[in-house]
Amino acid sequence: MTSKSMLLSISLAVAAALASGAVSARTEIQNKGSDTLVNVAQSWAEQYGKINPEVAVAVSGGGSGTGIAALINGTVDIANASRKMKDKEIKEAEAKGHHPVENVVGYDALAIFVNKSFPLNSISIPELAKIYGRDGGATKWSDLGITIPGCKDEIVVVSRQNNSGTYAYFQEAVLGEKGKFRQGTLDMHGSKDVADLVEKTPCAIGYSGLAYATEHLKTLCISPEKGKACVKPTEDTAFDGTYPIARPLMMYTDGKPKADVKKYMDWIMSDVGQCILAKEGYAPVRKISCK
């Protein structure tokens, strides 16, 4: 053996050892989906990586629909979703031999934002449907008997891009199963953009996760019917279901979670995991005290 080929075989052996070592030492969990959950999912992945360096959780966003599609195709271990899987999607998954299991990991109150100059503190679900629904009937604030200082009456309707889970949830919860959004909504590409636009525009109304509320915005109290008592969006009212447009945040796994995925899901549901979720502005699944 020449010295050159010996060197080569040694380096090959070292590389092989390194590679096999890396494979056995690190397992990877693929986690994809909802943009509402993506910040929380990233915090979870980072914190979990500190406790269990042998497990790497790869998190990416892309929207609830993207995560669910990836689960159907079998390319992720966990799909994040801010809406429930549709029957059609579950059937597609079953057809491909995957059995999605729903795990509720937290709750989010869908907050309705208006500009600081908005005169009222509450709005009802039917009024929201009039504003957002196709042919809903309200295109001017005066249609609802509201006058906003600094606004000439036209309602500036702020919405989200159509593959957002928040958009899909709002459509179902406010406009109903068959409801459609009206034409001419300003479709923002993120919850932050909704908050920014509403903050600057007196005529505007928008919706986003409660985590995006700021003191520069008015967050409305929501009543299920006109004239009924309204409920403020808080972590508590989202948790106990009294807030009318609160939604569960889900992580779908393929079958009951097993091995590393199960450990990860258990840790997410533990007090530590739930406190991370609460810190990001969402409601945990049970009463816990976080410091």
Partner 1 sequence: MANSTTAPGAATAAAFDRRDFDWYVDKAVQAIVFVCGISAIIFVLGIFVFVTKEGLGFIVNHMNFHEFFLTPYWSPSDADDPEYGILALMAGTASVTGLAMLVAIPFSLGAAIYIAEFASGKTRETLKVLVELLAAIPSVVWGFIGLVIMNPLIIKWFDVPVGLCVLNAGIILGLMAAPIMTSIAEDALKAVPDRYREAAEAMGATRWQVTYKVVLPAAKNGLLGGVLLGVGRGFGETMAVLMATGHAVNIPNSIFDSVRALTATIAAELGETVVGGEHYQALFTIGILLFLVTFVVNLSADLIVRGIRKG
Give contact residues for partner 1 (rule: CB under 8 A). 62-63, 65-66, 69, 86, 88-89, 134, 151-152, 154, 156, 161-163, 167-168, 171, 177-178, 180-181, 183-189, 197, 201-204
Looking at residue 290, its amino acid is C
Nearer to partner 1, 166 or 253 (CB): 166
Nearer to partner 1, 142 or 270 (CB): 142
Report d(CA 272, CA 47) in Å as an integer. 10
Report d(CA 102, CA 249) in Å as an integer. 10
> Residue 1 Cβ, how far from partner 1 at the closest point, in Å?
41
Nearer to partner 1, 83 or 130 (CB): 83
CB 167 within 8 A of CB 65: no
Picking from 162, 195, 154, 198, the residue whose alpha carbon sits closest to that of residue 180 is 162
Cα distances from 258 to residues 99, 124, 266, in angstroms, run: 13, 44, 11
Contacts of residues 145-152 at CB distance under 8 Å and 24 or more positions apart, as own/partner, are 146/118, 146/119, 146/120, 147/119, 148/115, 148/117, 148/118, 148/119, 148/202, 148/203, 149/117, 149/119, 149/202, 150/117, 150/202, 151/115, 151/117, 151/202, 151/203, 152/203
> Residue 199 Cβ, how far from partner 1 at the closest point, in Å?
13
Nearer to partner 1, 165 or 248 (CB): 165
> Residue 202 Cβ, how far from partner 1 at the closest point, in Å?
7
CB 159 within 8 A of CB 183: no
> Residue 185 Cβ, how far from partner 1 at the closest point, in Å?
6
> Residue 218 Cβ, how far from partner 1 at the closest point, in Å?
17
> Residue 257 Cβ, how far from partner 1 at the closest point, in Å?
24
Tokens of 65: 């629909």
Nearer to partner 1, 73 or 270 (CB): 73
Report d(CA 248, CA 231) in Å as an integer. 17
Nearer to partner 1, 52 or 185 (CB): 185
> Residue 22 Cβ, how far from partner 1 at the closest point, in Å?
29
Nearer to partner 1, 202 or 281 (CB): 202
